[in-house]
Amino acid sequence: MNNKSLITIIAGNSPMPQLRIGGYTNVSVGRVEINVYGEWGDICDSSLDDNDAKVICRQMGLGTRYSRILTLPSSAMSERIVYGDLNCNGDEDRVDLCEHVEYPNDCSHTGNVAIVCTDYCECFSVYY
């Protein structure tokens, strides 16, 4: 699909996007990347919360009990923003079932979305 101005706000109206953390699919802490219509990119960090983290972690088959959204500094950014205004209630199985916008034009890179996906409450630190 070549129409990069497509906007989807109604949940479930788009194909299920692939998710990965830091370019890998087998880690539980790192920068979130999303594939929309074959293009890997970032999720806008402007409105994300822990409900969104639960859904992102759940879709990847990772722990959700203590999932959290983190923001990495702009130096960690490498991808175009392809998903924004994600608004999950925390019970959805996939991010495309949450309200969202594809290829948002009102989001700039102020930080990159990073995530922690775990079912265990242990002390941990994320270094970047």
Query: Residue 15: is its pLDDT beyond 60?
Result: yes
Please give the domain boundaries of the chain with CATH numbers for all domains. Answer: 18-116 (3.10.250.10)
Read off the pLDDT band of 30 (50, 70, 90): confident
Query: Residue 28: is its pLDDT beyond 90?
Result: no
Q: 31-49 in b/e burial notation, b at 16+ Cβ within 10 A?
A: bbbbbbeeebbbbbbbebe
* Residue predicted with more confidence, 86 or 122: 86
What mean pLDDT do residues 5-16 have?
A: 48
Predicted confidence at residue 2, as pLDDT, reads: 38
Cβ–Cβ < 8 Å for 40, 125:
no
Tokens coding 39: 């293009």
- pTM (predicted TM-score): 0.78
Query: Residue 58: is its pLDDT beyond 80?
Result: yes
